[in-house]
Amino acid sequence: MGEPYYITTAISYPNGKPHIGHAYEAIAADVIARFHKAMGRDVRLQTGTDEHGLKMAQKARDLDLTPAQLSDQMSQHFIDMCAALNVNYDVFLRTTEPRHHTASQEIWKRMEANGDLYLDRYEGWYSVRDEAYYDESELVEGEGGSKLSPQGTPVEWTVEESWFFRLSKYQDKLLALYTDNPDFIRPEARRNEMIAFVSQGLRDLSVSRTSFDWGVKVPGSDNHVMYVWVDALTNYLTGLGWPEETDAFAKYWPANLHLIGKDIVRFHTIYWPAFLMSANLPVPHQVFGHGFLLNRGQKESKSLGNVTDPIALAERFGVDAVRYFFMREVAFGQDGSWSAEAIVTRCNAELANSYGNLVQRVLSMIFKNMDGKLDTFSSTEADDVLTGFVRYACSVEVTREFAALNFSAGIDAWMRAVFACNAYIDEQAPWTLRKTDPERMRAVLLTLFMAIRDLTIAIAPIVPTAAGKVLDQLGIPAGERGYGALHHAGWYMERVATGEALAQPVGAFPRLELPAEESASA
C-alpha cells in the first residue's frame, strides 16, 4: 500500500434529517478520498454522527422518545445518505458507541493530568443550537432587542457549576502553530479569521454541563457530562482505535485533513488543537472550512420551505450528475448556489453533450466500422498533438488542482481536453474517412479511444459509477484505473494484445430533463 492518507468529515448532528450541506461535505470528502486512492495512497475516510448534547435531549423530549431512541432512528438517515451519494467511507462513527466514551474519557484524563482542567462556576451566554458559548461582545441584536449569537441563533444566560479547560494557556502555542504551518487552516480567509480571534486573547472554556445528562460522563464527576464539542472532536481518534496503540492509529494519525463547514472552524482550529496539545498528541495537518451551498442564493431553512432531501435529489438527477455539479459549480472554500435548472444545464452541456456524446460516437464507430477491434496504427502529428494535450491535462493539470482541492479548476482543465477531442473529431471527420481513407479513419478513432481512456480515469473520482461503466466498455482492467496508469506508455498495446473486441456501447451519461413545473417557473 502507498503512503497513508486520513480524511474526516465533521460528524453530523442528527436532530434532523440530512440536508444539502451534509451531502455537499460528504461528496467532497469522498471525491478527495477517491482521488488520493487513485494516486496510490492508502486512504482512510471517516464520517459519522454527533449524538450527544442538549439539542438532542430537547428534540427527543419533544418527540416523546429517549435520546438513545432518537439517535438510533436519525443516525440511519445519514448512513442511507452516504449510500445514496456513493460515499465510500471506511468508518461510520457514532458518538454513543462505548468505545467512543472510553476515548473521550481518556483525553479528558490526559488534559486533567496536564493541569489544564479545574472546577468553577459558569455564567454566560450559550446557544443550544450551536452548542457554543459566546462572549457578550460577540452577540448581535435580534428582533425586539433580543440577543443572538454571531450565527443568528438564540442564546440563553446559563449559570451552573462547570469544569473549565485552560484555553488561555494555549494562545501563544496556537499562534505559533498557525505561523509555523501556514496550511493548517484553509482557505486563507478562514486562517486570517482565526488568527485575529486568537490574537484578541482567549478565555478559559467551560467543558462540562450539569443541567442535563445526555453525554459522556466526566471521570470522577458523574453529575457532569462533557461539553459536546470535547467528545465530538475526539471521534477522529476513536475511529482509529485510540487510546489503544492500534496499527490504525500508528499509521493514520495525525489526520491529513479535517473537512468541515466554515461555521465550525473555531472548534476545529482553536479548541481541538489545544485539547490535543494538552493531551500530548500530534495535531492534524490541515483543517479546511468549505463554504455553504445556497438554494437559488438563499440558505435552506424549514421556514422558507426550501429544504432539499439529498437522497431525493440523487434519485431525481442521478448521483454522478449531482456529484459533478457540486464539485464543478462551486469554487471549493467559497459559498455557492444551486438549482434544479442549473444542474440540468451544466450536466447536459458538459457530461451528456460534450463528454458523453464523444464517448458514444467514438465507441459506436469503432464497433460498427472496425468490428470493435483495436490494433496498431500509424499516427500523424495531429494525432500526437491531441494525445499529448489530453495526457498533460489529465495527468498533470487535473491531478495538481485536485491535490490542492481546486476542483473547479481541475474540471476546467479536464473540459478543455474534452473540447480538444471534439474539435479533433470534427476536423478529422472519421465518418467521411470511412469511405475515402479507412486506414486514416482507424487511426483517428483509435487516437480518440486512447484519449477517452485518459479522460475517464481523470474524472473518475467525481463520477465513479459512470466512469466505471465507460472503463468497463473500454476493457480497462480494474487495476489499471488509477492516475499512475496515465504514465504507463505500454497500456494500449497490452489492451490490443488481449484480442478483446469492444461491444456495442451503452450511454453512461443520459441527458437530464427538468420537470415541467420547474421549467415553467425557470
Q: Output the pTM of the full model.
A: 0.93
**Left (φ > 0), alpha (ψ -120 to 50) or beta: where does 440 sit?**
alpha
Cell of 284: 492534524
pLDDT at res. 303: 55
What is the Cα–Cα distance from 522 to 516, expressed in whole angstroms?
Answer: 10
Cell of 473: 466498455
CATH class in words for 339-497: mainly alpha
**Contact criterion met (CB below 8 Å) for 128 and 57:** no
Beta strand 257-261 pairing with 287-290: parallel
pLDDT at res. 522: 45
Q: What is the pLDDT along the chain (522 residues), one digit of tens a residue?
A: 799 999 999 999 998 899 999 999 999 999 999 999 999 999 999 999 999 988 899 899 999 999 999 999 999 999 999 999 999 999 999 999 999 999 999 999 999 999 999 999 988 898 888 878 888 888 998 887 789 998 888 999 988 899 999 999 999 999 999 999 999 999 999 999 999 999 999 999 999 999 889 999 999 998 999 999 999 999 999 999 999 988 999 999 999 999 999 999 999 999 999 999 999 999 999 999 999 988 877 776 655 666 789 999 999 999 999 999 999 999 999 999 999 999 999 999 999 999 999 999 999 999 999 999 999 999 999 999 999 999 999 999 999 999 999 999 999 999 999 999 999 999 999 999 999 999 999 999 999 999 999 999 999 999 999 999 999 999 999 999 999 999 998 999 999 999 999 999 999 999 999 876 555 444
Domain range summary for the chain, segments of one domain joined by +? 339-497
Cell of 63: 418527540
CA nearest 47: which of 196, 236, 197, 316?
236
**Contact criterion met (CB below 8 Å) for 14 and 71:** yes
Beta strand extents in 99-220 (DSSP E only):
117-127, 132-134, 140-141, 147-148, 156-165, 185-186, 205-206, 208-209, 217-218
- The amino acid present at 186, given as its one-letter code, is R
What is the Cα–Cα distance from 417 to 420, expressed in whole angstroms?
Answer: 5
What is the Cα–Cα distance from 470 to 361, expressed in whole angstroms?
Answer: 13
Place of cell 484505473: 481
CB contact burial 143-152 (16+ within 10 A = b; e otherwise): eeeebbbeee
